[in-house]
């Protein structure tokens, strides 16, 4: 009978081990990082990046491209806040680690692209300007606000204006992206201090209880 007892113990240990792993998988799948919880508490998941669909400029003008968060959001409180704009594959402007990164800026834009005087992170104002606009600058500028939990894009097409270089477009002309553009991300660095499980205690208790009952039933059948 000793061999039967050993087999029974082995089966029970195997089942317990797998039930334990199953519970861990369930808990991991429903875990929300503290960074994401903080973003949700501050309402960042409802924020949109707003910009004009298009803008006309004459060659030689200093052109301001208006990007801003709506409703106004204090970007200084965002975790790992990054604002980057691209023209085709070239970096036009990159703000990360609480500063503008000249190293990431394409050579053709260095010295000509800078934050506008209205730039104010605390109010979600992210306008920037191109000095001495050139024909080769015409095209689509795609900007993205992102952090560990969100990614909000918006694009402005910059066109060459043939007449009245200082005439302003009085229409609204702004892109408004649905918050579904937010893309949840898992933290990839070591700055996250931990996570909190969002699965209710009752659900976890139910899973564990079901597992224990299953173990008892299977063990009873096998070890008769």
Give per-residue pLDDT as tens, 26-63: 766 555 555 555 555 555 567 899 999 999 999 999 99
Domain that holds residue 214: 2-30+199-222
Residue range 80-87: mean pLDDT, rounded:
94
CATH code of the domain covering residue 158: 2.60.40.10
Percent of the chain at pLDDT above 70? 60
Residue range 99-103: mean pLDDT, rounded:
92
Which tens digit of pLDDT belongs to each residue from 182-203?
433 433 343 444 444 555 556 6
> Taking 90 as the threshold, does the pLDDT of residue 224 lie above it?
no
> Taking 90 as the threshold, does the pLDDT of residue 129 lie above it?
yes
**pLDDT of res. 193:** 43
Residues 47 and 86 in one domain: yes
Residue 75 lies inside a defined structural domain of this protein: yes
Residues 155 and 211 in one domain: no
What are 91's two structure tokens? 């970096």
> Taking 60 as the threshold, does the pLDDT of residue 217 lie above it?
yes
pLDDT-derived band at 150 (thresholds 50, 70, 90) equals: confident
> Taking 60 as the threshold, does the pLDDT of residue 179 lie above it?
no
Residue 68 lies inside a defined structural domain of this protein: yes
Q: Look at 94 and 14; give whichever has higher pLDDT.
A: 94
Residues 167 and 207 in one domain: no
pLDDT-derived band at 219 (thresholds 50, 70, 90) equals: low
On the 0-12 / 13-18 / 19+ scale of CB atoms within 10 A, 139 is exposed
| SS (HEC) of the chain | CHHHHHHHHHHHHHHHHHHHHHHHHHHHHCEEEHHHHHHHHCCHHHCEEEEECEEEECCCCCEEECEEEECCCCHHHCCCCEEEEEECCEEEEEEECCEECCCCCCHHHCCCEEECCCCEHHHCECCEEECCCCHHHCEEEEEEEECCCCEEEEEEEEEECCCCCCCCCCCCCEEECCHHHCCCCCCCCCCCCCEEECCCHHHHHHHHHHHHHHHHHHHHHHCC
């Amino acid at each position: 009978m000793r061999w039967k007892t050993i087999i029974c113990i082995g089966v029970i240990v195997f089942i317990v081990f797998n039930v334990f792993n199953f519970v861990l998988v369930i808990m991991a799948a429903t875990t929300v990082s503290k960074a994401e919880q903080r973003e949700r508490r501050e309402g960042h998941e409802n924020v949109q990046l707003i910009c004009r669909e298009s803008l006309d400029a004459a060659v030689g003008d200093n052109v301001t491209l208006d990007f801003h968060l709506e409703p106004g959001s204090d970007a200084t409180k965002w975790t790992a806040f990054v604002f980057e704009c691209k023209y085709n594959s070239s970096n036009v402007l990159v703000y990360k680690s609480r500063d503008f990164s000249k190293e990431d800026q394409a050579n053709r834009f260095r010295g000509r692209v800078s934050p506008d005087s209205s730039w104010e992170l605390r109010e979600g104002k992210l306008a920037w300007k191109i000095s001495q606009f050139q024909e080769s600058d015409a095209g689509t500028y795609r900007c993205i606000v992102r952090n560990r939990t969100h990614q909000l894009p918006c694009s402005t097409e910059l066109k060459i204006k043939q007449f009245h270089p200082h005439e302003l477009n009085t229409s609204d002309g702004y892109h408004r992206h649905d918050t579904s553009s937010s893309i949840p991300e898992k933290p990839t660095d070591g700055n996250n201090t931990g996570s909190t499980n969002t699965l209710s205690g009752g659900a976890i208790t139910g899973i564990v209880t079901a597992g224990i009952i299953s173990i008892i039933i299977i063990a009873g059948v096998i070890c008769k």
